[in-house]
Amino acid sequence: MKRAAIAKMEGGMRYTKLGKSDLTVSRICMGCMGFGDPHNGQHSWTLDEEHSREIIRRGLELGVNFFDTAVGYQSGTSEQYLGRALRDFAKREDVAVATKFLPRTQGEIAAGITGQQHIQNMIDTSLRNLGLDYVDLYIYHMWDYETPLYDIMDGLNRIVQAGKVRYIGISNCFAYQLAKANALAEKEGFAKFVSAQVHYSLIFREEEREMAKLCAEDNIAMTSYSPLAGGRLSKHPGETSKRLREDSYAKFKYDATARQDGIIIDRVARLAERRGVSMTEVSLAWLLTKVTAPVVGATKLHHIEGAAKAVELALTPEDIDYLEEPYVPHKPVGVMAQNTPAASKEQHVWGTGNQKIQGQ
């Protein structure tokens, strides 16, 4: 169906500014890692284009206007699916599109490709995939320990000045790195990071130690990936899904702490039953008291429908205490555990797959 089919938004979606930017975004961001050719990338559980389009269209109907993808998702096919769907179902000025770029590879470094050139190549590849002239938010997907910070910030500023990017964000970094980057940007007159996308949920709250405080003090929008911990915070014990069965990366992140996390998941289930809502609604309603927008993946229509309902659920202080009380500290997991200075010369956690990179 084309744009005319979406005549009216449903429900009570709420909107806010993204940090210091003038972007107005929905309180739910649709994460697009689950969209893309399942035979062409890191994940086997992603949706084909037809089913991805259905979910994107449903999100738009529910008032979602904020979409997050990456050049590293399924060899660029996530960006392609999203771009084509938005062209058919939405007006460009009505949506905020975020995508992400990866660090330089060892091959690029050996070839003498600078950080500035790398960023130019990455944004040009993403714009080609998306079929767009610009993106609203361009996110530094993970810290590049092999490239000088000046080169990264200069490269990002250049594409902002060129009109290819409106604002820049960062993901998978430590608070000191974000502070250091924005201090350099201020000194040099470069664009600053307006958002930080962090790993944050009821069962992984380590960003509350420093990152959340920095973002609050400097009015940097905090968005959260894995807000439902790969589905763990939305399912009762024994429930499963294709992703839960096949997502080995999520298992790497969460299996080691499953016993202690299970106590919190059980409380989510109990509170959801008491309130007559879904576990998804409870988990995201809690997160909405902490961040600008959770980045919520959806591989079924009811996933995005439940996420949209969460903005209407108000938790009491007692509810929040009940959910938070059992939490114990966790070690770094996922990208933050793998992307280290010691591992910086190894193959990256994510890659661009077999897509043709502009400029190479």
Is residue 73 annotated as a catalytic residue, yes or no?
yes
Q: Using alpha carbons only, how large is the chain's radius of gyration in Å?
A: 19
CA 37 to the chain's CA centroid = 19
Closest to 19 (Cα-Cα) out of 161, 146, 166: 166
Q: Kindly name the residue from 15, 73, 140, 150 that is annotated as catalytic.
A: 73
| Catalytic residue positions, numbered | 73
